[in-house]
Structure 1
């Protein structure tokens, strides 16, 4: 019997979209987008976060003003309930994906443990 793991992966993708965890993330993201205060703050946070990650990945040093800006934004986000709800929903989706990843990689881990 030939198994097509790509068909299985595509089915998993469809099923993940139907989980409560994903639907909660989708709702939380829509709330951030609709919030006049939260949306620009979240967009700025994502931009700063991406820039810092790119610098780290390319081995560039992160300047003190960049660190301060990230900390300032982090503080503002910590005070915004709408964004905090989104970040919590992201965390739960990330946990679900980690759990699924552990299941998927089980045969490989077992192979190297033998």
Structure 2
């Protein structure tokens, strides 16, 4: 009996979309997109985050100005309930994905133990 692992993975992808965590993430993301102020802050946050990650990955130092700007944006994020809701929903989906990852990788972990 042959198992098509890719069929299983595709089924998992469909089921993730139906989870309460993912539905809440979709709703939270829509709420941010529909809130002009939250959307602007969130896009700025993503942009700053991307620049800092690229610098870190390439071994470049983050300037004092960039670090200060990142802290400023983080403060704005923390004060915006709409964005905070999105980040919490992202956290919940991330936890679910981590849990799934633990299950999926169990055979590999067991092999090396």
Q: Name the structure 2 match of 1:28.
A: 28
Partner deviation per Cα, 1:8-40 (whole Å, 9 max, x = no partner): 000000000000000000000000000011000
Q: Distance in 2 between matches of 1:60 and 1:6?
A: 39
Report 1:1-114 matches (<5 A).
1-113=1-113
Deviation for aligned residue 1:4: 1.1
Paired residue secondary structure (1:30):
helix
4+ residue stretches of structure 1 with deviation over 6 A? none
Deviation for aligned residue 1:68: 0.2
Q: Distance in 2 between matches of 1:8 and 1:56?
A: 36
Q: Which runs of 5+ in 1 are unaligned?
A: none
Paired residue secondary structure (1:37):
helix
Q: Which runs of 5+ in 2 are unaligned?
A: none
Q: Distance in 2 between matches of 1:34 and 1:83?
A: 11
Paired residue secondary structure (1:2):
coil
Normalising by structure 1, we get a TM-score of 0.98
Aligned length: 113
